[in-house]
Structure 1
Amino acid sequence: MKIVFKILVTSMLLCIFANAKTLKDGSLTVATEGTYSPFSYYNEKHKLVGYDVDIARAIADELGLKINFVTAPWDAILAAFDAGKADTVLNQVSITDERKKKYDYTEPYTVAYAALVVRADNEEIKGFDDLKGKKSAHSATSNWAKMASRYGAQIVTVDGFSKGVELVITKRADATINDNVTYFDYMKQRPKAPLKIIANSSEPIYTAAIVKKDNTELLNQMDEALKSLRKKGVLKEISIRYFGEDVSE
């Protein structure tokens, strides 16, 4: 029954996407989740908002296009996009070698780094190497848990970043690792939380929009729009609005 239900849900979502307009109509159709705060979500007025949503709106404005959004779970988004029902996807899509084989990426609009987070009064941990023998709070199967383990940390299993930093604050864990954008969002909501980033990795994590490999025209247009928005300071403005920090470059 579960398989049948998933097939029915996916079919319904593809029908929704099938009504999406295209660039030929003078509009840009953007696929996004709508349940991924603070990047793409519905607010209390049931308006689609978020960092990625505002970036998408800014791109459309820069190109003089109307914008249409279609929202669905992540797997359904990619299925619909692959079927040609949306022009692009903006949903914190990280740039990976595997995805590069299938899609083209625009210029990055988010640059994140792995951040080592500790209590504000912690003077013992000064870098990733100091995690050896310490307790680091993570979801059991996350890449961050694997990273902490490589540095010799003892993993304390939690459900997500918020739970992890709660353990750090209450001294039931010594540290946690996540991307710095997630940390900035948390601190924007809880500015008095006794936490600090003690170290960042040197390896950047890039986020960009994806387009079809045969849609070079759109790719070039979106790249030019993003360059212009960066030069005008619009990307920085949107970033600070959501995170209190510039994570656009």
Structure 2
Amino acid sequence: MAFLDRTKYVLAGVITAVAMSCAPASAAEKFNLSPDTSNRVRAEKDEAAVKAIAPGFKFVNPGKFTVAINPWDPPIATYATDAKTVVGADPDIAQLIADSLGLQLELVPVAWEDWPLGVSSGKYDAVISNVTVTEERKLKFDFSTYRKDVLGFYVKADSKITEIKEPKDVAGLKVITGAGTNQEKIILEWDRQNVAVGLKPIEVQYFDDRAAADLALQSGRADVEFNPNATQAYKAAINGTRKLVGTVSGGWPITAEIAVTTKKGAGLADAVTLALNDLIKNGKYGEVLKHWSLNAEAVDQSKTNPAGLPKSGS
């Protein structure tokens, strides 16, 4: 999906985790960022999924499912209050898949830009870190989808803006987004369409850290933040200072999906897809998404290598 360089947001994730002690009790209970993972949703070994692993496939570490993950922001993945344990929805999904394959989970925190080489070189069995399926990535990787890629428009809680669903709704607004992201491409295209019909241009704003973006929104220097829905929904639930006024697919105008990413042709993707579909059927998958308030991003079925976002220029 999103940020080309998410490492700059890791510290923000740690700070958010530590700040949970100051959050309302209900929020703290809902988003438990404790390093104690004993209450993670667990699954039984899925013999059908194990049998679907291609003959000859070898896991990086015998008996373990070694997964690269970028702890960039809750509720997707962040550091717990001990600043070293990785918690969130993606770690929980990784745990369910490891259980299904009869393996011990080994999470390896990585910088966002490091996972492609790590997976393609065989350093990791998979990356589970909010990765969107794209046609370009499909040249080197296999995908097993597990969540919709949803982007959200969020405004200050007392903003007069009540709905954003099409380009004209953001005409003349100051919009925060991430540089080099799917959401930036979308907002720039909306701006192009607006200007073409004589509407006021959008003022796009970029920030290197979350705190600065939050301050801009709350102070009125920005009208809207347009970024991944999951992380913004988390903020809204924690502090109540922002509200959702609209969503679009991360692949607008087509649907985009998030997927477990494995080496192309390695022989693991079909097993992961089968495991995910069984987890969807038995309700374990739904438990994880409900826990992290990501129900709106649930998929009805995991697919191996579905159509992805088109290559640049296509």
* Shorter-chain TM band: 0.7 to 0.9
Quote the offset at 1:185 in angstroms: 2.0
2:204 is the alignment partner of 1:155 = yes
Query: Who is 1:66 aligned against?
Result: 104
Which has the larger displacement, 35-44 or 80-89? 35-44
2:235 to 186, 191, 194: 186
Q: TM-score, normalised by structure 2?
A: 0.62
Residues 1:221 and 2:271 aligned together: yes
Indicate conservation of the 8 Å contact 1:161/1:178, yes or no: no
Runs of 5+ consecutive residues of structure 1 not aligned to the other structure: 1-20
Aligned residue number for residue 118 of structure 2: 80
Q: Which one-letter code corresponds to 2:265 in the other structure? A: D
1:8-87 equivalences under 5 Å are 22=59, 25-33=62-70, 35-38=71-74, 39-45=76-82, 46-87=84-125
Q: Give the 3 Å change call, closer, same or farther, for CA 30–178 of structure 1 in structure 2.
A: same
In structure 2, relative to structure 1, the CA distance for the partners of 1:213 and 1:145 (3 Å cut) is: closer
| In structure 2, C-alpha distance between the alignment counterparts of 1:170 and 1:234, rounded to whole Å | 41
Could you tell me how far 1:27 is from its partner in structure 2? 2.8
Query: What's the C-alpha RMSD, in Å, of the aligned pairs?
Result: 2.7
1:185 to 1:155, Cα distance in 2 relative to 1, 3 A: same
* Cα distance in structure 2, aligned partners of 1:102 and 1:135: 37
Residue type of the alignment partner of 1:233:
G
Give the strand-richer structure, 1 or 2. Answer: 1
Q: Any idea what SS the aligned residue of 2:292 has?
A: helix
User: Does residue 198 in structure 1 map to residue 198 in structure 2?
Assistant: no
| Structure 2, unaligned runs of 5 or more | 1-57, 192-200, 300-314
Q: What are the within-5 Å matches in structure 2 for residues 225-240 of structure 1?
A: 225-240=275-290
> Structure 1 pair 159/52, CA: closer, same or farther in 2 (3 Å)?
same
Q: CA deviation at 1:230?
A: 1.3
1:138–1:164 contact (8 Å) kept in structure 2: no
Residue type of the alignment partner of 2:116: L
Change in 2 beyond 3 A, CA 1:77/1:51: same
- Are the structure 2 counterparts of residues 120 and 211 from structure 1 closer, same or farther at C-alpha, using a change threshold of 3 Å? same
> After TM superposition, where is structure 1 displaced by more than 4 Å over at least 4 residues in a row?
139-143
Q: Distance in 1 between matches of 2:178 and 2:156?
A: 19
- Bigger RCO of structures 1 and 2 (CA < 8 A, at least 6 apart): 2
Structure richer in helix, relative to its length: 1
**Identity of paired residues, percent?**
27
Deviations 1:137-195 (A, max 9, x none): 334555534533433312244335554343333322222211222221222322x2142
Q: 1:79: Cα distance to partner? A: 2.1
- Select between 119-128 and 63-72 the one with higher mean Cα deviation: 119-128
Equivalent position of 1:117 in the other structure: 154
Cα distance in 2 for partners of 1:203, 1:182 equals 22
Is 1:173 equivalent to 2:209 in the alignment?
A: no
Q: How far apart are residue 61 of structure 1 and its match?
A: 1.0
153-162 or 226-235, which deviates more? 153-162
Quote the offset at 1:36 in angstroms.
1.9
The letter of the residue matching 2:291 is R
In structure 2, C-alpha distance between the alignment counterparts of 1:63 and 1:224, rounded to whole Å:
10
